[in-house]
Amino acid sequence: MKSSIGIKIAAVAAVAALAGCTDLKPLQADIDSLKTQVGALSSDLAAHKADRADANAAAAASTAAGAASSKADSAQNTANQALTAAQSAQTGVNDLNEKIDRMFKRSVSK
């Protein structure tokens, strides 16, 4: 974009030189207008770069959130397996306690 503006400035200067213009005020106005356009384009470019950086950061955050969600699901599955194992072990302990109680009651009643 800068090169096309530079080309425009050069073209205006060449036309002025070839035409033998003695009044440079209209030419200066064109140059000032082009400078203003260059400034606006530079601002727009900076804003677009900032928007792109924000979008990249948001994409990275989304990827990290997806990975965290996957790890949370894995942790929940592991917790569920541990709960099932603990419940099974508790059932075994309860059964064993019941047997011991019956054996103790038999030995006391004899």
Residue 109 has pLDDT above 80, yes or no: no
For residue 100, pLDDT beyond 80: yes
Query: What is the rounded distance in angstroms from the CA atom of residue 76 to the CA atom of residue 70?
Result: 10
Distance, CA of 25 to CA of 31 (rounded, Å): 10
Which of 40, 15, 45, 18 is CA-nearest to residue 30?
15
Q: What's the whole-model pTM score?
A: 0.47
pLDDT in tens, 37-84: 988 999 999 999 999 999 999 999 999 999 999 999 999 999 999 999
For 15-41, the pLDDT digits (tens) are 666 665 556 777 788 888 888 998 899
